[in-house]
Amino acid sequence: MNAQIRPASDPEFIRLAGETIRMGGLVAFPTETVYGLGCDAFNPDAAAKIFEAKQRPQFDPLIVHVADRTQLATVVTALTSTAQQLIDQFWPGPLTLVLPKQLTIPDLVTAGLETVAVRMPNHPVAHALIREAGTPIAAPSANPFGYVSPTTAQHVADGLGSMIDLILDGGPCPVGVESTIVSLVGPQAELLRPGSITLEQLSAVIGPVRRSSSVIDQPTAPGQLARHYATQTPVKILPFDKTRPTLQHNERAGLLIFSQTSATDERFAAIEVLSITGDLREAAHHLFAALRRLDAQGLDRIYVEPCHEEGLGMAIMDRLRRCAAL
Ligand code: AMP
Ligand code: MG
């Protein structure tokens, strides 16, 4: 089996994709964050295929995607007022909430936890697919475990093509980094993974949000592993002072920078500029595709200039640090 890339603009392929999910198959589909590898969230056999396709360890739970609040009620048991406020403000959108789960969600989907991670994506193709399938869709990012997440249909085909029934092509993902994950099961809201909904935005709605210590050093789930979202090529993050590195003799190096600051540097075999004007939204949108392009060039090392860890910069630097970790 080699999955065909099909245009999501053709309703016939949405119909086929929905049927594939209902029959227990795997469909890759675009969301506003990255491409997901989806299955029926209530089907443990289908979920097992996702873990196998990605070579994902079974202790790493999946995110369940819903199209509306009726579906949400089949996934979680109850919504606190904090959950309600965040949903009202940010759904549909790139915010995943960890909440107490309904027992009908298979253990494999939640890695045996009594909680489930759930979100309502803000992408017309994801929405149409979940609707057509008629069931919530469990979906991690559609890439081999540990590698850079896919932001185009071709990225999915490159990494997992032979393992998937169908890839819906809805163009490049607008946001480009994975969803923000907030746990609402403890006494205080806790940020488990930074994303494009920023800590500042969350706090403005629900007050102080704890930044999980595991985000920083003690991982409890692979989305939080020190090394994740990683290229084959070693990555080194440069100091903030904008000094360019001294390259070793014959070193073939790539450079990833956030804005078009200075003249191009001839010493680098390849340079990727994430945003000419230094716009962080544009940088996030281009981040994974740029890392993949550099990774495809057989370089000795990729040097990365850092950005400030405010707003979306927190999510971007989180991914880059995990990519650079040894
Ligand atoms: P991915 O779908 O590949 O972006 O990864 C999903 C991530 O969501 C996991 O690696 C976990 O970090 C997180 N996650 C999913 N479910 C839960 C849960 N019940 N509790 C805490 N974290 C979760
Ligand atoms: Mg992932």
Low-confidence ranges of the chain (pLDDT < 70): 1-2, 213-224, 262-263
Helical packing angle, 153-160 and 280-295, nearest 10°: 30
pLDDT tens digits for range 175-188: 999 999 999 999 99
The token duo for 113 is 């936890």
pLDDT for 218 equals 45
pLDDT at 260: 84
Best mutation site among 32, 56, 192 for ligand 1, i.e. most ligand atoms within 8 A of its Cβ?
Answer: 192
Q: What is the pLDDT of residue 224?
A: 64
Query: What pLDDT shows up at residue 221?
Result: 53
Q: Which tokens go with 85? A: 């406020």
Is the CB–ligand 1 distance for residue 192 below 6 Å?
yes
Alpha carbon 140 to chain centroid, angstroms: 8
| 10 three-class SS | coil
> Minimum-distance ligand to the CA of 138?
1
- Measured in angstroms, how far is the CA atom of residue 47 from the centroid of ligand 1? 14
Q: How far is the CA of 267 from the centre of ligand 1 (A)?
A: 40
Burial 119-152 (b: 16+ CB within 10 A, else e): bbbbbebbbbbbebbebbbbbbbbbbbbbbbbbb
Selection from 162, 177, 155, 182 nearest residue 296 by Cα: 155
Residue 117 Cβ contacting ligand 1 at under 6 Å: yes
pLDDT of 244: 82
- What pLDDT score does 245 carry? 87
Ligand 2 is a single-atom ion; what residues have CB below 5 A from it?
A: 141
At residue 243, the pLDDT reads 76
